[in-house]
């Protein structure tokens, strides 16, 4: 069947839809939504594991991202008979970066968000960057770019591309465009909406920094040669993307200062909408531009990874069903999987506190829940101390979001309503960005009918 006909009978009116693609570490997911935000279809493809080195290196081949993207789009569009994609956006892991020629050809593998080799480059950045800059640190995009420039002996003009930037370019957008959120750890000043002068001291040339636009900005249309391979409609608009964590927040629909999102995945991440940006590297705090607001937050090393050291999912569910969340164990845990904490304190020597362990597994699990909830509460207090609003309500995403006993413990510790987000996938947030572009809204979370 011709690609153009996969959306319905030739000549038949086809309902519009909007697609979001989420590129993670191990897979690629895509979803399609309609104008009311209803989920129409979803598809997933796996990615090969990152290549890891004893020196702290973590790399992936961008061509693997592309293969997964094409596969997931082909699968998704095959489920969308009767619909025509109007616009598409991409989110991906923050601070995953590569160098490429002006026509998008990668000079080598991409450095993943958790690559730790750019220590010397990070010291150069730290000598110039303001103390509150998210571009500081070996895991930030900027240090990785300096590391790649030296490793690849760059002697001609090359582009800095984040994971989402490169995929959107491959789909047909101009290479060399990024968005506020992906560019944050590259040094972009989101307040001034410009590259700061202190970057001049790094003498980045011949490396060229991207042009930066707001997430959700239309930046091109689908390359006509990709209609058949992807099943997308000719003329599909391409929309500037964002980072995966920001896309997950967009998916929840929060839109008012004081509304917050906690992610209970392998790690604990808290974010609250604020009218002004806040930042404090000493406690792991920074802010993402979020339309005309700011998304202030931080990520702890605590979270579900600690729970899974002791219990599998079935055991957690069994024990949680018997738990009395209104009571208190009196245990004073600081659950960490290993020494080191990022937020609400940044202390690489912070030791886990997981003793004494009671003989009763139910009491032990409840103590872990209470300890993680206490870290969450301390995180929101720290954000408030820095000038962000105190949460008025907290939506929860991630694997722990559906645990009602844990939610009640958290509500007691936090003193505000805690609920589970109806939509929480990053791919859904990327689809909302694409829909926002069609509506002309400046704020990703303010899509009519979705907030």
Which has the closest alpha carbon to 90: 236, 254, 255, 195?
236
Residue 265 confidence (pLDDT): 86
The CATH code of the domain that includes 410 is 3.30.420.40
C-beta of residue 267 within 8 angstroms of C-beta of residue 340: no
What would the pLDDT profile of 39-48 be if each residue is shown by its tens digit?
A: 999 999 999 9
266 lies in the same domain as 325: yes
Residue 33 burial (CB count, 10 A): 24
Whether residues 268 and 357 fall in one domain: yes
Contacts of 117 (CB under 8 A, 6+ apart): 55, 56, 57, 111, 138, 147
Q: Which residue has the higher pLDDT, 137 or 183?
A: 183
* Cα-based distances in Å from 44 to 29, 78, 192, 258, 400: 4, 13, 38, 34, 22
> pLDDT value at position 439?
66
In a domain? residue 449: no
Domain check: are 129 and 15 in the same one? yes
Confidence at 85, pLDDT banded by 50, 70, 90: very high
Q: Please report the DSSP string for 420-431 in residue order.
A: E-S---HHHHHH
pLDDT number for residue 438: 73
- The SS3 assignment for 290 reads strand
Q: Region 115-129: what's the mean pLDDT?
A: 94
Residues 236 and 301 in one domain: no
Q: Per-residue pLDDT for 354 more than 90?
A: yes
Judge if 113 and 221 occupy the same domain.
Answer: yes
Separation between Cα atoms, residue 61 and residue 80, nearest integer Å: 30
Structure tokens that stand for 363 in this block: 């009491």
Residues 34 and 92 in one domain: yes
Same domain, yes or no, for 135 and 178? yes
Asked if residue 141 belongs to a domain, the reply is yes
Say if residue 150 is in the same domain as residue 89: yes
Query: What is the residue range of 194's domain?
Result: 3-247+426-439
Same domain, 416 and 430: no
Residue 239: closest CA among 273, 213, 202: 213
Q: Which of 132, 141, 133 is nearest to 113 (CA)?
A: 141
Interval 259-303: pLDDT, tens: 999 999 888 999 999 999 998 878 889 899 998 999 999 989 999
The total of structural domains in the chain comes to: 2
Q: Are residues 213 and 337 both part of a single domain?
A: no
Is pLDDT above 70 for 446? no
Assess whether 408 and 282 both reside in one domain.
Answer: yes
Task: Kindly indicate the confidence band of residue 7, based on its pLDDT and cuts at 50, 70 and 90.
Answer: very low
Q: Are residues 323 and 400 in the same domain?
A: yes
């Amino acid at each position: 069947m011709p690609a153009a006909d996969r959306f319905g009978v030739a000549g038949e009116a086809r309902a519009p839809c909007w697609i979001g693609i989420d590129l993670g570490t191990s897979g690629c997911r895509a979803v399609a939504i309609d104008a009311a935000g209803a989920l129409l279809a979803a598809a997933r493809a796996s990615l090969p594991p990152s290549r890891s080195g004893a020196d702290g290196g973590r790399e992936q081949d961008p061509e693997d991202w592309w293969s997964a993207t094409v596969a997931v789009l082909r699968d998704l569009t095959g489920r969308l008979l009767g619909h025509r994609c109007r616009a598409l956006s991409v989110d991906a892991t923050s601070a995953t970066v590569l160098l490429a020629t002006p026509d998008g050809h990668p000079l080598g593998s991409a450095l993943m968000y958790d690559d730790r080799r750019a220590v010397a480059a990070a010291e150069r950045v730290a000598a110039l960057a303001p103390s509150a800059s998210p571009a500081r640190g070996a895991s930030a995009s900027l240090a990785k770019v300096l590391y790649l420039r030296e490793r690849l002996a760059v002697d001609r003009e090359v582009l800095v591309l984040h994971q989402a930037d490169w995929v959107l370019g491959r789909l047909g957008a101009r290479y060399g465009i990024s968005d506020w959120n992906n560019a944050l750890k590259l040094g972009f000043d989101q307040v001034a909406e410009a590259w700061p002068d202190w970057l001049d001291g790094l003498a980045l040339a011949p490396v060229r920094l991207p042009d930066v636009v707001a997430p959700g900005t239309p930046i091109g249309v689908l390359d006509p040669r990709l209609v058949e391979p992807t099943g997308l409609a000719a003329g599909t608009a391409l929309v500037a993307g964002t980072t995966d964590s920001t896309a997950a927040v967009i998916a929840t629909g929060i839109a008012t200062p004081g509304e917050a999102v906690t992610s209970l995945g392998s790690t604990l991440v808290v974010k609250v909408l604020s009218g002004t940006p806040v930042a404090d590297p000493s406690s792991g705090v920074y802010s993402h531009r979020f339309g005309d607001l700011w998304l202030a937050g931080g990520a702890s090393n605590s979270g579900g990874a600690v729970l899974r050291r002791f219990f599998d999912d079935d055991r957690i569910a069994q024990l949680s069903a018997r738990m009395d969340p209104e009571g208190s164990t009196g245990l004073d845990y600081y659950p960490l999987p290993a020494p080191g904490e990022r937020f609400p304190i940044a202390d690489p020597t912070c030791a886990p506190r997981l003793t004494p362990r009671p003989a009763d597994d139910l009491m032990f699990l409840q103590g872990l829940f209470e300890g993680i909830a206490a870290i969450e509460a301390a995180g929101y207090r720290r954000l408030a101390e820095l000038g962000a609003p105190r949460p008025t309500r907290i939506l929860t995403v991630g694997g722990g979001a559906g645990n009602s006993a844990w939610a009640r413990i958290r509500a007691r510790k936090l003193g505000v309503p805690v609920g589970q987000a109806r939509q929480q996938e990053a791919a859904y947030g990327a689809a909302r960005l694409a829909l926002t572009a069609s509506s002309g809204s400046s704020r990703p979370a303010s899509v009519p009918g979705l907030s």
